[in-house]
Each structure stands twice: as C-alpha cells, then as structure tokens.
Amino acid sequence: MSPNDTTSHAVLEQLRRQPADRRRILFTGATIVTMDPGLGVIDRGDLLVEGDTITAVGPDLSAGDAVVVDATGAILTPGFVDTHRHAWEAQLRRIMPDVDDLGGYITATLAGYATVYRPEDMYIGTRLAALTAIDSGITTMLDFSHNSRTREHSHAAIQALLDTGIRGVHASMGPHFGEWDRQWPGDLTRIKDQYFSTEDQLLTLRLAALATDEISGPDFAYGNELAAVARELGIGVSVDAVFGMSSSKAVLRWAEAGILSPDVTLIHSTGLTCEAWKAMGETGTTVALAPTSDSQIGLETAIPAVDEALSVGIRPGLSIDVEVALASDMFTQMRALHAIQRMRAVNAAYGTDQQPSRITTYDVLDFATLQGAKTNGLAGVTGSLSPGKKADLLVIQAEDLNNMPLNDPIGTVVLGSDARNISAVIVNGEPRKWCGQVLDVDLPALRSEVHASREYVLNTPAA
C-alpha cells in the first residue's frame, strides 16, 4: 500500500476472493515496528500473514502464492489496544465536553441518559464506538458495558462487537441507577455459554465491577463474592472507579483476601497510597490508565498514575473511557500521557541537581499495544507483531504530508500520526479498513440510526 501503489483496491478484491482460513498476505518493504522486544524495529522488512496468524517477520520473505501488498513508505505496527471504554455512550459524544468532575458525569449520564436506553440504543452506541475504534487503529477494545438492564441489553452490546469484527472484550456489569432486571451477575453463566464457549475466538468475556460501594451500593463493589463468580467462570475482572483513600483500603483488603492477581485490572488508580501500590505490584495486578479522563475530568488527583505504576513494576495499558467528554482515539491518549509525565518529571527536578526521569515515545506505544493486551488478558494473542500471534496490525503512511520524511518510526506513530494516516487495519487477518476507509459500513444508514437513537435518548425522561 505504498503511495505509488495503484492496485490497492484490486488487491483487496483479490484478498476477499480467498477463503479467510487459507488466505496468505505478504506485506513488503515496510518499516516494521514489531513491539516485540526480541525483534525491535525492522527497516524495509516483510510480514507474512497466513489465515488469522502472523507466521513470519523479517527481510526478504518468500511470497509463494501469497497476495503481495507493497507497503513501501509505510510503517507496520500492532493494532492499538483499548483497555476500558463505555462504548454504549457513543451517540452522546462530547455532549458534556467541559464536565467538571465525576459527579457531574454520573448525574447526567448514569443517573439520567442511561436509564432510558433500549437494547437497540445499546447496539447502536457500541457499534459506533467499535467502528470508530477500528478507524483510528484500535483493533482490540474492552467494552466496560455497565448498562445491562436486561438480557436483551447484554445481547445487543455483544452483537455489536461481533458485527464490527473488532477483537472485543465484553466486560459485563449491571447499571448504576434506574430500573433493571437484576439478572447480573447470575446471567454471566448463560452469556458465557452462548457467546464465549471456545477459547480461540474473536470475543472474550470479563466481569466488570466497581472498587467500592460509594457510587452504586455494595452489589457492584469488587470483593470475595464477585471474585468467586469470576473464578468459577474462568474469566478476568476489570474494576472501575479505583480512586483515593477508600479504594486504597479496598486494594489492601483484596490483597489480604487473595483476590488480586494478573487476571484483575484496576482502572484509573489515581490517588492511591504507596501501600496499595505495593500490594498491586506484588500480586501482578494490571492497571488501565485513562490519561485524558483523569486529567480533563479531574479524577481524584487528576494525574495519570504512570509513575506510581512503573515504580512497582507495573507497565500499564491505556484506555479511552467516556466519549461524552473525551477524544475517542489512542493517539490522543499516548500524547497526553507522554506530555503530562514528562512535564511532571522536569518540574519535579527543576531547581535541583536531579535528572528528570522521563518516559519515552516507545513507552507509551508499548502501553498502547503490548501492555494493553496483557491488561486485557490477551498477551499471548495480540499486542505485538510476533510470529504466532494473531494478525492485528496497522499500515500507517509515513510519507503523507504530515509525516514525511520518516526519521524515527516510533516518534512518527506516537507524535505525528492520526486516523487519516492509517491506510489499512487488519483484525485477526481480516481487512477492516482499506485505502483509508472502514469497510462494510453503510455510513448514511449508520448516521440515520445514530441520530434517531440520540434523539430518543435525549427526549425521553429519565426513568
């Protein structure tokens, strides 16, 4: 897919004529940012995809009968991994761009708009979020689906992930406020049997919970009971609203009870005590940071807890969180975290003889890919361009007006690129974006559905 390649539409047609399980794609001539510590960055390299899997990465690979995609002038990277997004809210994008605090968000969204959502609204919001994720290079998205009022609401959210072809993680939780069927968490067994019956599939299931009972009461607070549900089902846990002293005390209780582990993700983790962080590090607990959410909305300290995580050996994943107030792409998260942490590091050392301890563009790209996969429980599946992993990858044009000339590929991805530079997105070996356009989407029809759903939600009194 080089700037001079005039056959890219023909190449797509050629790819799609082949059965997906027997398809072979050879990307040639690219700068390959593998995010695999053993492979590093390969200049003018090739990458072979067979079926849904990356089978070889290196220079001058043999094509055989593979469909050859000329990627000269492009960068290949792993797809980005979003570790936490409330996807059902997408038709409410930027409805409160200057929300001042968590309380304002909760009152307007969770206690208001959420209570009138129908299953079809869940479907439309989740599908819109997933398609937007693909467009901006996110190939894996954890949907923290905390508006599951009925079985049908859960079905709609899961079906939306299936229909977009994203590598989706459905993290299921009941709603904070309003009427609902109280089917959660008991309904998780049926959901798993119906949608998540095999290990080797595009969607995975997690249990979603809150850190404490302060927002919505004890039913949603992570503890021994919910940990037992997750353990019995063999699924991971994602815990949201991990903030401050009350969450710090909860973390220490969880550590003492033996329910912290690498299968547990703590989201935000702002304002936690040193003792809580020590317990998280010792247990291998994963962390999902939300850089723009923490700083823009002002969650607890309003400072993304990257330094705290790194100090105990945790390399965090990154997340989008709520599109009602925030940007929906991973480039923004990487740049925000990169700038905030480096600003803090220099400021802390200013006027002293200390050297600032600054993270790098490699660090934030690692957080957005390999560490995000680990955080979502998918470290062996995605997050790097390693042979044996699933083919989740991006083709980013390095010779576009805003990127040329290519001097540093990682710097170009993190600081120079955006969705317009992503010419192709491959998820599980399947093209989902090609020639700069998301595939298989009737945009006028989608637009009509999104607008109709938004009007219904905004004009229906809260339940």
| Residue range 263-272: mean pLDDT, rounded | 98
pLDDT digits (tens, 9 = 90+) for 315-353: 999 999 999 999 999 999 999 999 999 999 999 999 999
Distance CA 28, CA 72 (A): 7
Main-chain dihedrals φ then ψ at residue 25, nearest 5 degrees: -125, 130
Distance CA 209, CA 190 (A): 18
Q: Residues 432, 134: contact at Cβ < 8 Å? A: yes
Identify whether 405 is preceded by a cis peptide bond (ω within 30 of 0): yes
Distance CA 372, CA 314 (A): 12
Question: For a pLDDT cut of 90, what percent of the chain falls above it?
Answer: 94
Q: Is the pLDDT of residue 108 over 60?
A: yes
Q: Residues 91, 124: contact at Cβ < 8 Å? A: yes
pLDDT digits (tens, 9 = 90+) for 136-172: 999 999 999 999 999 999 999 999 999 999 999 999 9
DSSP label at residue 206:
E
Q: Residues 127, 70: contact at Cβ < 8 Å? A: no
Question: For a pLDDT cut of 70, what percent of the chain falls above it?
Answer: 98
Neighbouring C-alpha atoms within 13 Å toward the C-beta of 413:
31
| Residue range 42-60: mean pLDDT, rounded | 97
**pTM, 2 dp:** 0.97
Q: Is the pLDDT of residue 1 over 80?
A: no
Distance CA 31, CA 408 (A): 10
pLDDT digits (tens, 9 = 90+) for 180-226: 999 999 999 999 999 998 877 999 999 999 999 988 889 999 999 99
Confidence of residue 121 (pLDDT cuts 50, 70, 90): very high
Q: Residues 2, 30: contact at Cβ < 8 Å? A: no
| Residue range 176-181: mean pLDDT, rounded | 96
Q: What is the mean pLDDT of the chain?
A: 96
**Domain architecture of the chain: domains with CATH:** 8-78+383-438 (2.30.40.10), 80-375 (3.20.20.140)
